[in-house]
């Protein structure tokens, strides 16, 4: 088996300035027809066959495009004692990029580096699989990298060094970071220069790193990250961002919350006049709620949650509440109503169909299996609508997989890979049958 020192020497940047190990078949992967004790896959190093598993990328994501995947191995030939080893495979060439000989690995996509931890040292690799350098580190869960790598002709290792009182909150680029001091956020560069004082409760930066949206004391501002000019907007709160939109909130004359959307440069997409807005798969349609958007916990709803949703796993699950008063509809970016406010849930089923529910109840809960809040819609009647709002004359209670096959849409598989599954659909009558 190849030792750590040998692997580092073989992959040292100085010896591999013109090499890209994502294009080189060095440790090819074989999927086993019959799994062995230590995994479903194998690769060969020297004369040793090492077994491993690929970790589920939904809960162990390593890159946004799934180009790199995290692997783990308990194979005793790794000589890690009772610890498992982690490594990286590259989907470009179905090859081991970093051998599974490290205790843990973190990938910093915007910095072009992997940080691999082993015996109180952090080993830095670039996205081509080349070893850059190592530094001492007291924790394998250290979330603040000390270096970035410029993956261009300069092939420069850039030092990241800001004062200890700042905690890394978000990486914007190799020379710009959102940091936290005490309970407030600001922006700092890689050498520790303060670009924006830590005075803000929320900061959302657009994809191009050209504008930041700041929240402080019930006021929202747009900050130009080139000139650092600041402009106040007509909202009181930033909620979140997704797919190039930022959800904002203001309070009307009756002190009721009203939601709207702006784009990544601060232009209004939907005026802040809705009871709630949810993001959609397409950029020109939005799911909107009319009613009292509040999640209410009760003993009765918790009993239903425990009976039909709680899966009995060891991971923590908790009900936040149910949405009791209001209906969902669909509007376009011109505020034209596509589906009227009369549904208890609407979910995009494909690029051409919505699933719509009448009479069901929506449950909001935390699922420790996927480590995020989830939704479940229980009971009710389901119909299908096309994207123009025309209801297809079909009410069904069949499972969703059967419906996918029935619609025979070639794009459905691609669609579901590209969007979040919003709600688990449960029919209690089916479960009792």
Least confident of 130-134, 227-231, 349-353, 414-418: 414-418
Q: Does 368 have pLDDT greater than 60?
A: yes
- Could you tell me which residues come within 8 angstroms of residue 6 by beta carbon, excluding any fewer than 6 positions away? none
Q: Whose structure tokens read 């397409």?
A: 282
Give the span between the Cα atoms of 103 and 159, in whole angstroms.
24
Where are the chain's structural domains? 4-159, 275-432
pLDDT band at 293 (very low <50, low <70, confident <90, very high): very high
Give the span between the Cα atoms of 38 and 50, in whole angstroms.
8
Question: Closest Cα to residue 77, out of 42, 35, 48?
Answer: 48
Give the span between the Cα atoms of 148 and 175, in whole angstroms.
9
| SS3 sequence of 10-39 | HHEHHHCCCCCCCCCCCCECEEEEEEECCE
Q: Convert the pLDDT of each residue in 213-239 to its tens digit.
A: 999 999 999 999 999 999 999 999 999
What is the Cα Rg of the chain in Å? 25
Q: Does 63 have pLDDT greater than 90?
A: no
Give the span between the Cα atoms of 221 and 249, in whole angstroms.
13
Give the span between the Cα atoms of 55 and 62, in whole angstroms.
10
Q: Who has greater pLDDT, 276 or 352?
A: 276
Count of CB atoms situated within 10 Å of the CB of 62: 20
Give the span between the Cα atoms of 270 and 283, in whole angstroms.
12
Q: Convert the pLDDT of each residue in 128-187 to its tens digit.
A: 999 999 999 876 556 789 999 998 888 999 999 988 899 999 999 999 999 999 999 999
Q: Whose structure tokens read 């909001």?
A: 364
305-309 contact pairs (CB < 8 A, 24+):
305/363, 305/365, 308/376, 308/378, 308/426, 308/428, 308/431, 309/363, 309/365, 309/376, 309/378, 309/424, 309/426
pLDDT band at 58 (very low <50, low <70, confident <90, very high): very low
Most confident of 20-24, 123-127, 161-165, 387-391: 123-127
Question: Closest Cα to residue 159, out of 192, 137, 129, 198?
Answer: 192
Question: Closest Cα to residue 146, out of 111, 178, 193?
Answer: 111
Count of CB atoms situated within 10 Å of the CB of 42: 18
What is this structure's pTM? 0.81
Q: Convert the pLDDT of each residue in 311-338 to its tens digit.
A: 777 778 999 999 999 999 999 888 899 9
Q: Convert the pLDDT of each residue in 383-411 to its tens digit.
A: 888 888 888 755 554 445 555 555 544 44
Give the span between the Cα atoms of 56 and 46, in whole angstroms.
28
| SS3 sequence of the chain | CCCHHHHHHHHEHHHCCCCCCCCCCCCECEEEEEEECCEEEEEEECCEEEEEEECCCCCCCCCCCCCEEEEEECCHHHCCCCCCEEEEEECCCCEEEEEEEECEEEEEHHHCEEEEEECCEEEEEECCCCEEEEEECCCCCCCCCCEEECCCCCCCEEECCCCCCCEEEEEEECCEEEEEECCEEEEECCCCCEEEEEEECEEEECCCCCEEEEEECCEEEEEECCCCCEEEECCCEEEEEECCEEEEEEECCCCCEEEEEEECCCCEEEEEEECEEECCCCCCEEEEEEEEEEEECCHHHHHHHHHHCCCCCCCCEEEEEEEEEEEEEEEECCCCEEEEEEECEEEECCCCEEEEEECCEEEEEEECCCCEEEEEEECCEEEEEECCCCEEEEEECCCHHHHHHHHCCCCHHHHHHHCCCCEEEECHHHHHC
218: left (phi over 0), alpha (psi -120 to 50) or beta: left
Least confident of 3-17, 51-65, 97-111, 305-319: 51-65
Q: Tell me the average pLDDT across 366-375.
A: 84
Q: Does 419 have pLDDT greater than 70?
A: no
pLDDT at 391: 81
The per-residue pLDDT of the chain, averaged, comes to 86
């Amino acid at each position: 088996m190849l030792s750590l020192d040998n692997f580092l020497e073989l992959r040292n940047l100085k010896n591999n300035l013109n090499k890209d190990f994502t294009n080189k078949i060095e440790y090819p992967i074989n999927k086993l027809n019959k799994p062995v004790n230590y995994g479903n896959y194998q690769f060969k190093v020297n004369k040793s066959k090492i077994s491993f598993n690929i970790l589920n990328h939904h809960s162990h994501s390593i890159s946004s495009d799934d180009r790199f995947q995290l692997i783990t191995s308990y194979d005793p030939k790794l000589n890690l004692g009772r610890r498992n080893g982690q490594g990286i495979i590259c989907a470009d060439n179905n090859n081991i990029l970093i051998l599974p000989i490290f205790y843990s690995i973190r990938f910093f996509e915007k910095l072009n580096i992997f940080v691999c931890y082993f015996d109180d040292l952090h080993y830095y690799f670039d996205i081509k699989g080349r070893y850059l350098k190592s530094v001492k580190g007291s924790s394998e869960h250290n979330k603040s990298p000390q270096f970035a790598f410029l993956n261009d002709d300069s092939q420069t290792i850039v030092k990241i060094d800001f004062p200890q009182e700042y905690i890394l909150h978000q990486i914007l680029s190799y020379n710009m970071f959102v940091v936290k001091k005490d309970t407030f956020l600001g922006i700092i560069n890689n050498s520790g220069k303060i670009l924006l004082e830590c005075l803000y409760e929320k900061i959302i930066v657009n994809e191009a790193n050209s504008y930041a949206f700041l929240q402080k004391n019930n006021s929202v501002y747009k900050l130009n990250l080139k000139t650092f000019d600041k402009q106040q907007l007509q909202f009181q709160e930033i909620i979140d961002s997704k797919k190039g939109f930022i959800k904002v909130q203001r309070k009307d004359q009756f002190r009721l919350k009203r939601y709207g959307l702006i784009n990544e440069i601060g232009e209004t997409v939907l005026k802040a006049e809705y009871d709630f807005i949810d993001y959609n798969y397409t950029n020109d349609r939005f799911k909107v709620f009319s009613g009292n958007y509040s999640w209410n916990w009760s003993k009765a709803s918790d009993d239903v949650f425990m009976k039909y949703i709680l899966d009995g796993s060891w991971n923590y699950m908790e009900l936040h509440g149910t949405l009791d008063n209001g209906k969902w509809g669909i509007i376009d970016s011109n505020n034209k109503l596509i589906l009227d406010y009369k549904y208890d849930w609407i979910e995009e089923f494909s690029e051409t169909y919505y699933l719509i529910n009448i009479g069901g109840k929506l449950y909001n809960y935390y699922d420790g299996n996927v480590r995020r809040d989830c939704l479940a819609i229980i009971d009710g009647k389901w119909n299908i609508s096309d994207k123009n709002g025309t209801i297809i004359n079909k009410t069904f209670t069949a499972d969703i997989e059967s419906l996918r096959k029935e619609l025979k849409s070639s794009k459905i598989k691609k669609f579901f890979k590209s969007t979040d599954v919003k709600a688990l659909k449960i029919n209690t009558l089916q479960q009792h049958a």
